[in-house]
């Protein structure tokens, strides 16, 4: 699978197979913007913990534009959304919405592990980075993956985010895996 947009280029296998005549290729993750600043990631963690203490998931969109004069071009948006114990969804996903403009989408799993669920697989069908933050009260952790129209590849969160101390990266460098 090879996909490219202005801010991101990826190349990763979607099936394991040997094809005669083709040389093996290595995965590519070329994230062009600067990493999301740690204070924005801390805000996501803080807000996730707040809603998690009520047993609710919450959703965030990270939008990057080189014309934004703040935070290295990053904007953090917590869109108006529906929240429940097992799902969060933006109320507006139309053109021009934060959902449509997001390069990174992160949601929380409050006390549950930072793992992508079958609900996440169903919902996360665009071309962007998707994250889940979990175990917020006991051992906070974050997991990140690239989504390309229903195909996914887990990558270290540190490849795109500056992580605050105390937030564990579930896919630390050398441990990234394919789905």
Write the CATH number for 141.
3.40.140.10
Residues 6 or more apart whose Cβ sits within 8 Å of residue 177:
154, 171
Sheet holding 8-11, edge to edge: 2-5, 8-11, 28-31
| Ramachandran angles phi, psi of 32, nearest 5° | -85, -35
Report if residue 104 sits inside a domain. yes
Q: Which range marks the domain in which residue 71 is found?
A: 33-169
Report if residue 10 sits inside a domain. no
Quote the pLDDT of residue 84: 95
Give per-residue pLDDT as tens, 101-115.
999 999 999 899 999
The number of distinct structural domains making up the chain is 1
The pair of three-digit structure tokens given for residue 71, joined into one six-digit string: 């935070």
- Predicted TM-score (pTM) of the model is 0.92
Give per-residue pLDDT as tens, 104-156.
999 999 899 999 999 999 999 999 999 999 999 899 999 999 999 999 999 99
Report if residue 70 sits inside a domain. yes
Measured between alpha carbons, how far is residue 4 from residues 51, 95, 128 in Å?
Answer: 34, 20, 10
């Amino acid at each position: 699978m090879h996909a490219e947009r202005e801010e991101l280029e990826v190349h990763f296998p979607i099936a394991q197979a040997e094809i005669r005549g083709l040389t093996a290729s290595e995965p590519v993750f070329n994230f062009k913007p600067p990493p999301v600043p740690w204070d924005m990631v801390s805000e996501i963690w803080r807000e996730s913990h707040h809603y998690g203490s009520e047993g609710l998931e919450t959703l965030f969109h990270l939008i990057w534009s080189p014309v934004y004069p703040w935070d290295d071009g990053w904007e953090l948006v917590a869109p108006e959304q529906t929240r429940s114990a097992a799902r969060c969804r933006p109320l507006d996903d139309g053109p021009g919405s934060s959902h449509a403009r997001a390069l990174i989408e992160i949601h929380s799993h409050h006390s549950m592990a930072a793992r992508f669920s079958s609900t996440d697989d169903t919902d996360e069908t665009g071309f962007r980075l998707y994250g889940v933050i979990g175990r917020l009260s006991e051992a906070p952790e974050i997991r990140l993956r690239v989504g390309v129209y229903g195909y996914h590849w887990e990558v270290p969160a540190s490849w795109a985010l500056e992580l605050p101390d105390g937030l564990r990266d579930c896919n630390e460098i050398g441990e990234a895996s394919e789905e």
